[in-house]
Amino acid sequence: MVDPQFIEAQAAVAGQLVGRAMDGMADSAAADIARAECLADQALAALPRSAYAHFIKGQVLRAQAQVLREEGRCEGAILEYETAIALNRNLVFAIAALGWCKFLTGSMEETIPLIGQGIRLSPRDRALRIWYQWIGMVHLLQSHIDEAIVWLEKARNANPALPDVRARLAAAYALKDETERAAAELAEARRLSRDDRFSSIARLRATVYFGVPAVRALFEATCVTGLRKAGMPEE
């Protein structure tokens, strides 16, 4: 007889491995993601109607897209998140992650409503700092700079140690010609980062994944342009 608690524990381990890879903390992101995929598949085989197992499978697929740059994985992640939500409509992490995958696949008009739903369901969630950042990114790429700054500042206030938030604030401030604030945020992003992704535009392009070509084009037109104005060199 399958022990559901053991299977859920396996899925939780997979979630930790994927989170470590997406946060840039893994010694080998590919190895962590491969191990997570194995555990998630085992969990789904044993408990095919587990909302949490479907959510973790979605996380594995999103990591394969964002970290390993495997095409088409976000579309698979969307299906897993939607299945998880159908099984548990209050699974806030799946709702928010679905919103972010919609962003990465170019359906960014769906992102803010989904993440907003997650915030309403869990207004004191430990993930708020990430969700605020995602909403800020939608506004930034849509050139709603004032709104982007509001949400990115909320993300920074929720956790001042997030380098990606600092870099995106740097871009937003620079697009508003607030060059001193932009330079200060870029310096903090570099200081807080575990790698050199904020050392140059070239390194940023090589390190950060922003989905389908249409989204990447918006990223170049807004975030990259702002970071260039904030003082980030090309190489």
CATH code: domain of residue 155: 1.25.40.10
* Helix 51-66, helix 73-87: angle, nearest 10: 160
Neighbour tally for 90: CB within 10 Å: 11
Looking at the fold, whether 76 and 157 belong to one and the same domain comes out as: no
Cα 100 to chain centroid, rounded: 6
Looking at the fold, whether 136 and 77 belong to one and the same domain comes out as: no
Last residue of a domain, one of 91, 107, 139: 91
Q: Which residue type does 179 have?
A: T
Q: Taking CA 173 as the corner, what is the angle to CA 169 and CA 178, rounded to the nearest 5 degrees?
A: 150
Output the CA–CA distances (angstroms, integers) from residue 149 to 54, 134, 137, 186, in the order listed: 34, 12, 9, 14
Looking at the fold, whether 73 and 131 belong to one and the same domain comes out as: no
Structure tokens at 206: 């090589």
Looking at the fold, whether 66 and 138 belong to one and the same domain comes out as: no
Contacts of 37 (CB under 8 A, 6+ apart): 14, 60, 64
pLDDT in tens, 98-135: 999 999 999 999 999 999 999 999 999 999 999 999 99
Looking at the fold, whether 214 and 134 belong to one and the same domain comes out as: yes
> Which residues in the chain show pLDDT less than 70?
1-2
Considering the domain boundaries, does residue 115 fall inside one?
no
pLDDT value of residue 70: 93
pLDDT value of residue 2: 54
Number of domains forming the structure of the chain: 2
Looking at the fold, whether 49 and 146 belong to one and the same domain comes out as: no
- How far apart (Å, rounded) are the C-alpha atoms in residues 141 and 3? 46
Considering the domain boundaries, does residue 97 fall inside one?
no
Looking at the fold, whether 214 and 142 belong to one and the same domain comes out as: yes
- Cβ atoms of 171 and 226 within 8 Å: the answer is yes
Query: Phi-psi category of 207—alpha, beta or left, where left has phi over 0 and alpha has psi -120 to 50?
Result: alpha
Domain region containing 187: 126-235
First to last CA, the chain: 58
Structure tokens at 16: 């930790």
- Cβ atoms of 60 and 33 within 8 Å: the answer is yes
Q: Token pair 């399958």 is at which residue?
A: 2
- How far apart (Å, rounded) are the C-alpha atoms in residues 73 and 9? 24
Looking at the fold, whether 232 and 130 belong to one and the same domain comes out as: yes
- How far apart (Å, rounded) are the C-alpha atoms in residues 101 and 217? 17
Considering the domain boundaries, does residue 162 fall inside one?
yes
Q: Global pTM? A: 0.94
